[in-house]
Structure 1
Amino acid sequence: MSVVVLTLCVTIAALLYYLSVRKFSYWRNKNVPHLKPLPLLGNYGEYILMKKYVGHVTQEMCRIFSKEPYFGAFYGTEPTLVIQDPEIIKLVFTKDFYYFHSREIAKYTPNEVTTQNLFFTQGDKWKVVRQNLTPLFTSAKMKNMFYLIGKCGHTLEKLLDEETAMSGVVDAKSLMIRYTMDCIGSCAFGIDTGTMQQNPEKNPFVQMGDIIFSTSKLMGFKLVFRAIWPKIFYSLGLKYFPTDIDKFFTSLLMGVFEQRGHKPTARHDFVDLLLIVS
């Protein structure tokens, strides 16, 4: 029995090792400069183990290949091209952008409502969504929303005065979360969230914001797991945000639509723009 178990463990370990290194010859075969990757971790081991921010890991590699227009890396087990040359970057963001719009997580968007947006869409669906949304973000339409952000800014100033009058110490992170939620609520949903009132602990928007902007180890692990191995992440039935987040904002948006009779108003917020398009 012990021999069978040992054989099974060795077989599984060998299979996992093979799967984790089978793409590691990708950049070598294409004669692209790259660093030697580690099994399973690739070149982003410190990020995967949550020791360094992903940008810092990439920056360190950029310094090693400072004279190269681009270089190869391995994001976990997947080959990744890092471009440094400004002219190539310009092509990626303009003329050739159609070929670079997708992200690894894009094919798994049906698994999570929060990822069903332009940033995580691919292929022809991305093109259609982009064509529909582009007219909503013209300079004129964005300018019409400035007054909403201005109101949120004035509320923030008032809150800062009150907070500093009571104590010389201000929780900047909490304050910015509340301000961000207030701006999103006003511009996107057309409602006053009340997040910048005193004693906001029981405010549902503040509670949702605490979850969304959480920096806990669990959220960090889920962020890395989903980014590096999205197929495994969603195959296990995991989600980055709890379903309560999806239900809360879906219910909120549907309520705003019904309150406005599915017709645009004079607020010129994002809900109005969506109603105009629909």
Structure 2
Amino acid sequence: MEFFIEPLYIGFFVSGLSFLAVVHWYFNGNFNYWKKKGVPYLKPEPFFGNLRDLTLLRTSTAEMFQKLYHEFEGHPFAGLYQSRTPALLLRDPELIKIFLAKDFQHSQHRGFKLDEKRDPLTANIFTLGGPRWRILRTKLTPSFTSVKIKQMFHLMEECSETLQSFLLESAKRGEEVELKEVLAKFSTDIIGTCAFGIQSNSMTDPDSEFRKMGRKMFDPTIASALRKYMQLFLPTLAKILNVSIIGKEVTRFFTSVVKETVEYREKHGVMRNDFLQLLMQLRTQIRSDVAAAGNKNEERFVFHRWFHLLVDQKELSIDPGLVQHFFDHSWHSIGSLKLQGVELCFVVIETLYQKIQAIFEI
């Protein structure tokens, strides 16, 4: 009997050691990246990199990076590790300007690995990168003009009057108030009325569903920290375990709120000066662009808008500068292009016709 048990134990022992070795290599194998580059860096820790306190909810994101910023006093930039992933910390204002302006095309990625199907609320202008971000920003920028924001002022004013009444009543009764919670409720009411087009009544209703979901979305918990860690640093494992940064209940709630509000406004012809109305108008404009794509006279307009996305998705293996030249100078005079440009013309047209519908559905 012992003859069969011992090899079994040895097998388990070797398998365990192998597993630990793989885990150790996975989380530590990249920790010499900045050393090889000659970039100043802090010694990282397994699993956490340089963000242990942030991952364990001991500090806020702002405080964490402020601390890291001061650790590299005198250096224009430094290397960090987000778990096992190298990240560059910029300190010099001129260098930051170069990254955000002159060389922005090389630094558009936000560092987030998104799964929009499983976690749709995370795919927003703050987390997207590349052509998806550029298209979304181009579309949303006109919605944030001073004129359109001023149109929402009366909505904010109503929330401010509710806040004032709440504080006056509390003062008359001599009650203490938790200012953080009060301002969180005030912010929730502002977001609810300006962004979602609903009256959340967080200030007057302690059981407001909107406020409850806001807490679940933003309040730090061990569970939310683990979900975020897995999604950002172990995306494959998160996908296998169906883990998302934002809870399923929260996602369903906000998705249904927007869907029901939009359907109600479209059905009853309701118009309201809020951000949701601007997005509805934007959707109508995009649908018009899609319809225009069927018109031969609009081909250049549609192709020019979407070719960047194709290149980023590696559907087109071409030089974006050459494509830009094609659109700017040679759409109506293909003969002026060299052979490479003529070939490019046919590649662009053929591929775009195959992919254009899929792009518009994104």
TM-score w.r.t. length of structure 1: 0.89
In structure 1, C-alpha distance between the alignment counterparts of 2:268 and 2:90, rounded to whole Å: 45
Q: Which residue of 2 aligns with 1:83?
A: 90
Change beyond 3 A, Cα 1:87–1:206: same
Distance in 1 of aligned mates of 2:82 and 2:164: 42
- 2:120 maps to 113
- Matched residue, 2:70: 63
Paired amino acid for 2:93: P
2:254 matches 1:249: yes
Q: What is the Cα deviation at residue 270 of structure 1?
A: 0.8
In the TM superposition, residue 93 of structure 1 has moved relative to its aligned partner by: 2.5
The CA deviation string for residues 2-44 of structure 1, in whole angstroms up to 9 with x for no partner, is 1111111110111111111221221122111112222332222
Of stretches 222-231 and 78-87 in structure 1, the one that deviates more from structure 2 is 222-231
Task: Flag structure 2 segments of 5+ consecutive residues without an equivalent.
Answer: 1-7, 285-362
Task: Say which of 22, 31, 44 aligns to 1:37.
Answer: 44
In the alignment, does 2:104 pair up with 1:97? yes
**Alpha-carbon shift at residue 264 of structure 1 (Å):** 7.6
User: 1:42·1:75 contact (CA, 8 Å) conserved in 2?
Assistant: yes
In 2, the alpha carbon distance for the partners of 1:85 and 1:264 equals 52
Q: Cα deviations across residues 175-212 of structure 1 (Å, max 9, x unaligned)?
A: 22221221111111222222222xx2332212222322
Structure 2: distance between partners of 1:40 and 1:249: 33
Shift in Å, 1:228: 4.0
**Matching residue's letter, 1:164:** A
| 1:167–1:230 Cα change, 3 Å | farther
Does the aligned pair in 2 maintain the 1:108–1:231 contact within 8 Å?
no
The alignment status of 1:158 with 2:179, answered yes or no, reads no
* Greater length-normalized contact order (CA 8 Å, ≥ 6 residues apart): 1
Cα distance in 2 between the residues matched to 1:96 and 1:263: 48
The alignment partner of 1:38 has SS state of coil
How far does residue 238 in structure 1 lie from its aligned partner after superposition? 1.1
Q: Give the conservation status (yes or no) of the 8 Å contact 2:114–2:122.
A: no
Partner of 1:20: 27
Structure 1 residues 157 and 252 mapped into 2: Cα distance closer, same or farther (>3 Å)?
same
Distance in 1 separating the partners of 2:102 and 2:127: 20
Q: CA deviation at 1:231?
A: 4.1
In structure 2, distance between residues paired with 1:35 and 1:134:
38
Tell me if structure 2 keeps the 8 A contact 1:36–1:43. Answer: yes
Q: Report the secondary structure of 1:105's partner residue.
A: coil
TM-score where L is the length of structure 2 = 0.70
Task: Tell me if structure 2 keeps the 8 A contact 1:44–1:54.
Answer: no
Evaluate the alpha carbon distance shift between residue 62 and residue 249 of structure 1 in structure 2; reply closer, same or farther with a 3 A threshold. closer
CA-based RMSD of the aligned residues comes to 2.2
Distance in 2 (CA, whole Å) between partners of 1:201 and 1:90 is 45
SS of 1:260's equivalent in the other structure is helix
Aligned with residue 276 of structure 1, among 265, 272, 281:
281
Alignment partner of 2:79: what SS? strand
Structure 1 residue 99: deviation in Å? 3.0
How far apart in 1 are the matches of 2:185 and 2:261?
A: 21
Letter in 2 for 1:133: L
Check if 1:202 corresponds to 2:215. no
Distance, in Å, in 1 between the alignment partners of 2:166 and 2:96 is: 42
Residue of structure 1 in register with 2:240 after alignment = 235
- The CA deviation at 1:262 is 6.5
Q: CA deviation at 1:252?
A: 1.6
Describe the superposition over 1:141-166 as per-residue Cα deviations: whole angstroms up to 9, x where unpaired: 11221221121111111111122323
SS at structure 2 position matched to 1:74: strand
**Counterpart code for 1:217:** I
The 5 A counterparts of 1:249-268 are 249-261=254-266, 267-268=272-273
Q: Secondary structure at the match of 1:94?
A: helix
Per-residue CA deviation, residues 79-129 of structure 1 (Å, 9 max, x unaligned), is: 010000011112222333333332232443332021121222222222221
Change (3 A) 1:189 1:54: closer
The percentage of aligned residue pairs carrying the same residue is: 29
Gaps of 5+ in 1: none
- Structure 1 residues 213 and 162, CA, compared in 2 at 3 Å: closer, same or farther? farther
